[in-house]
Structure 1
Amino acid sequence: MEPAGRARARVPRTDPYGFERPADFDYAAYEEFSSAYLVVLTRRAARWSGLLRGGGGVRRSETLKRYIRKGVPLEHRARVWMGVSGAQAQMDQNPGYYHRLLQGQQNEGLEEAIRTDMNRTFPDNVQFQKGADPCLQKALYNVLLAYGRHNLAVGYCQGMNFIAGYLILITKNEEESFWLLDALVGRILPDYYSPTMLGLKTDQEVLGELVRTKLPAVATLMDGHGVPWALVVSRWFVCLFVDALPVETVLRVWDCLFNEGSKIIFRVALTLVKQHQAFILGATSAADVCEKFKEITRGTFVTECHTFMQKIFSQPGSLSMATITRLRESCRARLLAQG
């Protein structure tokens, strides 16, 4: 491995998406990973260009699913997300709708809630800083405002700003970002961002039940220390791992999320827990459990996104939508009974 100084000279201070690298960033380890990953990306980009030749719509298929699991090249990501999520179809069927929403009736409460979160959204990203040209804060504000007017039952909820911000970084297009946000909030993650957040609370309980079945020792530890799953994974679910995992890994997860739906979130969460089961089981208090759950989202395991994505489809074992649906029904009923 090269000395850190030489690796640092080649790796820019900001990543390709504009995020500033932290002070303790391991340049040497990243250089070693990225040089090998670049070869994978180059090979896959050529195959994707062949698959998408002709410029038509992106349709789901087993071939496409296999390709997506191996990673969508950045230059094709927006088109693929739009196609497989149904966002493109919605946008085509509603021409001009996004721009009409921006001209809609004022709602001071909604606008103030969004404005409050503007400077809190990716302060470590040069494209969202006020001095940037262009500054993406305006695009982010527009997308969230339009969505709040579009989905009155949700309005605006903290966490949506991070998701919309990532969408804007990838699409470079407000209207596409709006329709992708609609696909996530309205269809892929129903009831995650409603005032009661019943869908979010349900899925956190579902994860707990899956861990109880697949990793019973961890479930016993959580119970023993009285740590509810919401305490350690709510940010994972609300922000779709945006502020937990490295950006390239998050985007690889989202590739599959847009195509295969919400079960991908469970696969990622279960893989993180299973991979670090021995580490988690060393916790001696509730605070220690929480700290260990922060630790397991750092390091080479999550940085090496290609290997990580292979693991999420092997480590958790079988995970059918039928199982998730059944668990959702029972967990939702239990939550509603608790009031």
Structure 2
Amino acid sequence: MKHYREREVKWLSIVNKMDAGSVKKDTKLKKLVRSGIPTSVRSRVWQFLAGSNDYQHQQKGKFQTLANQPATAIYNVIDRDLPRCYPDHTLFRIENGQGQRDLGMILKAYAHYNPQLEYCQGMGRLAGCMLMHMPTEDAFWLLVCTIDRYMNGYFTPELSQLRIDAYIIGQLLKDHEPKLAQHLENNDVTPIMYIAQWFLTAFTMTLPWQSVLRVWDLFLFSGVKVFYRISLAILQLCKDHLLQSCPTNSEILGFLLHIPHDYLSADVLLETAFHIKLSKTDIGRYAKKATVNGADAMGLPFEHGLKNLRISGSMPSSSSHLSSNSIGSSLKDRIKKKGSSLNLRENSQSTLPVASPPPLPVSSV
């Protein structure tokens, strides 16, 4: 408890006396982040690291203006998705309850803030997690900053950054786990098939909740490179099962999209991730190669990716794996068709797993 209180005091001092740019260059503070941000100050630290307080102060009153704009067609899509976003959490489980209304307000305001993008379903997972930790307007501006500063290029019609990251993950996997990389390749499993869910929802549909929060601490401190580490750590921890018990495409995808949480506890996952050595030179080289070669060279032949990418937020309680008819062979077939889209709209009953947070009230700071 004493150590926890010391970390609380340390973070409050950092937030009040330092700027985020200096903090992110400090190796001692990087170590502090790796030990986890205390729950009681997590909201303030996240906003500090992302710079969302600055956005909010510079645009006072804008959130309410956006929230009061006339309804558009995208509102219907948002309203339909709200019940599937953290359906087991007390904040969101009541249909049209305060939590769902606040989440809808954030997403609809963002649709007006960024009319070129408007909305895609992964945003609900991001905004929902933020709303668990802070008031509605604070969560809105953190969502804006997260997309602008950290995930710019993920939420684009062409999924441009996600395509690049898929290529990078594929190459890094060959470097670190060549046998597993070959196994996935032999079964036509490309990184885009699993990192779309992992990255666009910032692992909220993949990891146990304490692991999610620790990953977000690191992500807001260090940026997307953390996603590479976490992805490789997940694959490394699941390697034996994938090699020994998943001989087909559908079994591999079924497992990667529904990984049992026993594999992914925060301490084990992060210890594994921190021991993975990543070279900025290699990442830069792979990113450049991905950009030069284009999507076709990355095994990503679909075109209007984001507009058709749907990430379902509910899962039948009895489901422990995906059937080959739901996401395995059908997803493989859709992606392999030249010019087709990665489209999870086709079957509204097809579901991806939810890493539900514990049913607790909103965190206070």
Both structures adopt the same fold (TM-score exceeding 0.5)? yes
8 Å Cα contact 2:53/2:141 also seen in 1:
yes
User: Quick one: higher RCO (CA 8 Å, sep 6+), 1 or 2?
Assistant: 2
Select 1:147's aligned residue among 104, 107, 110.
110
Report the alpha carbon displacement of residue 129 of structure 1 after superposing the two structures with TM.
1.9
1:72 aligns with 2:37: yes
Q: Which amino acid aligns with 1:309?
A: L
Aligned partner of 1:156 in structure 2 is 119
Q: CA RMSD in A?
A: 2.2
Gap runs ≥5 in structure 2? 302-365
Kindly provide the amino acid, as one letter, of the partner of residue 201 in structure 2: C
Counterpart of 2:278 in structure 1 is 318
The change in CA–CA distance for 1:236 and 1:51 in structure 2 (over 3 A counts) is closer
Range with bigger deviation, 143-152 or 276-285: 276-285
Q: Is residue 227–residue 286 contact of structure 1 (8 Å, CA) maintained in 2?
A: yes
Contact 2:111 / 2:117 at 8 angstroms: preserved in 1?
yes
With over 3 angstroms needed to count, the CA separation of the structure-2 counterparts of 1:301 and 1:57, relative to structure 1, is farther
- How far did residue 107 of structure 1 move? 4.5
The one of 226, 239, 246 equivalent to 1:277 is 239
CA distance in structure 2 between the partners assigned to 1:277 and 1:163 by the alignment: 28
Give the TM-score normalised by the residue count of structure 1.
Answer: 0.80
Matched AA of 1:183: C
Q: Residue type of the partner of 1:329? A: K
Counterparts of 2:14 and 2:28, CA distance in 1? 17
Deviates more, 1:274-283 or 1:246-255: 274-283
CA contact (8 A) 1:147 1:155 kept: yes
What do the CA deviations read for 1:52-73 (whole angstroms, capped 9, x no partner)? 2497255313333221111011
What's the % identity of the aligned pairs?
23
- Secondary structure, aligned partner of 2:91: helix
Aligned residue among 195, 198, 214 for 2:157: 195
**CA separation of 1:99/1:161 partners in 2, compared to 1, >3 Å: closer, same or farther?**
same
For residues 10-52 of structure 1, the C-alpha deviation after alignment (integer angstroms, 9 at most, x for no partner) is: xxxxxxxxxxxxxxxxxxxxxxxxxxxxx6xx62332221442
After superposition, the Cα gap between the structure-2 partners of 1:234 and 1:337, relative to the gap in structure 1 and judged at 3 Å, is closer
| Residue from 189, 193, 204 that aligns with 1:242 | 204
CA distance in 2: counterparts of 1:55 and 1:294, whole angstroms: 36
Q: In the alignment, is the contact (CA less than 8 A) between 1:202 and 1:331 conserved in 2?
A: yes
Deviation at 1:231, TM superposition (A): 1.8
Q: 2: CA distance between counterparts of 1:310 and 1:223?
A: 27
Q: Which runs of 4+ in 1 moved over 6 A?
A: none
Aligned partner letter, 1:112:
N
Q: Map residues 4-15 of structure 1 onto 2, 5 A cutoff.
A: none
CA distance in 1, matches of 2:247, 2:14: 58
1:158-237 aligned within 5 A: 158-171=121-134, 173-237=135-199
